[in-house]
Amino acid sequence: MDEKKITVKSPANIAFIKYWGQKDEKEIIPYNDSFSMNLSHCFTMVTVELQEDAVIQELYIKDYKSTVFERSTGESLKRVIDFYSKVRSLLDAKAVFGFRIYSENSFPKKAGIASSASFFSGLTRAFLKGFGMELPERQISILARLSGSGSACRSIPDGFCWWKKGKNSATSYAETIAPPDFWALRDIVLILSSREKTVSSQEGHRYAKTSPFFFPRLKGIARRTESIRRAFFRKDLEEFGAILEQETISLHTVMMTQSPPLYYWSGKTIETIKKIVQFRKKGIPHYFTIDAGENIHIICEKKDEKRIAEYYKNQPEVEEILINYPVVGSRILS
């Protein structure tokens, strides 16, 4: 039996304009474009051991700060098996292989730092390699989107990535709009708690439309998206940050008013938001954004990174901080 081992390093990404709600649940087509940055220090190492013609299908996860891989069953394994079958059928691949997957995160999972995006983007590349397929980046991004973790499509290209909502599966993919060195932005992740969230984004998307604010949000999003894009290319952090925060509040307004409601924020989240607003008044530009979790991402420029990190590291609400700069997308290492 032939055995092959593939290792992929894949970044998580932070969305500046968020994906929330699916126009087509089966094909994972979003209602709006989204825009993100790949993160240097929040990544997943995915190693896949393949055995040709074998039936083995196993998943092992090493959690953040853990020293051992633990076997994962249940929903996580099911998602992986479903994705394997999907990739195989979409590629019309003849090969069959069994797999043992080892996934290791450099950050807490299921805490609003896109761990499924980094995992599934990495797995997409590994499965493709396993099937012996080389595809253009756009096709790889489409496959990653179809993993179910839609934002995984934004972890395939390099740097700052734009996911065009598209009209159908073939036109909904992410691409680089600027390389990692275009703008020395930092994402300082404030870990307020590494508790795992109880409701996944997948479930959240399903009920997004039940919020009375979902369609009003979409009405304003095209303008917001265009404005943030312009601010980004002008490197106007003040304008960029103001839109970033509006977008975050808009997303969480929908989340909190959908049915059933999603209250991702904790008391620590709101305490920290207030501190950001206050500390910014000292003339240090930095802005918050929050995904599906209670932890906060602070976006600032490299020149202010040290002062900001120093201040928040010492706040009682903050367990630890992770500092990220923009990086390339997922890569096969070996």
Tokens 């065009």 label which residue? 164
Shortest gap between Cβ of 130 and ligand DP6 (angstroms)? 22
Which of 327, 325, 293 lies closest to 309, judged by CA?
Answer: 325
Q: Can you give the binding site for ligand DP6, defined by CB under 6 A? A: 15, 18-20, 34, 114, 116-117, 149-151, 200-202, 205, 291-292
User: Looking at beta carbons only, is 155 or 272 nearer to ligand DP6?
Assistant: 155
N residues, the chain: 334
User: Looking at beta carbons only, is 150 or 241 nearer to ligand DP6?
Assistant: 150
Shortest gap between Cβ of 264 and ligand DP6 (angstroms)? 9
Residue 320 pairs with which residues in a beta bridge? 191
* CA contacts within 13 A on the Cβ side of 171: 6
User: Looking at beta carbons only, is 10 or 47 nearer to ligand DP6?
Assistant: 10
Shortest gap between Cβ of 5 and ligand DP6 (angstroms)? 26
- Give start and end residues of each alpha helix (H) in 47-156: 74-91, 115-130, 137-145
Residue 48 pairs with which residues in a beta bridge? 6, 101
Shortest gap between Cβ of 3 and ligand DP6 (angstroms)? 30
* Number of neighbours of residue 79 by Cβ within 10 angstroms: 19
Tokens 């076997």 label which residue? 71
User: Looking at beta carbons only, is 262 or 276 nearer to ligand DP6?
Assistant: 262
Shortest gap between Cβ of 147 and ligand DP6 (angstroms)? 8
User: Looking at beta carbons only, is 6 or 254 nearer to ligand DP6?
Assistant: 254
Which of 228, 246, 224 lies closest to 237, judged by CA?
Answer: 228
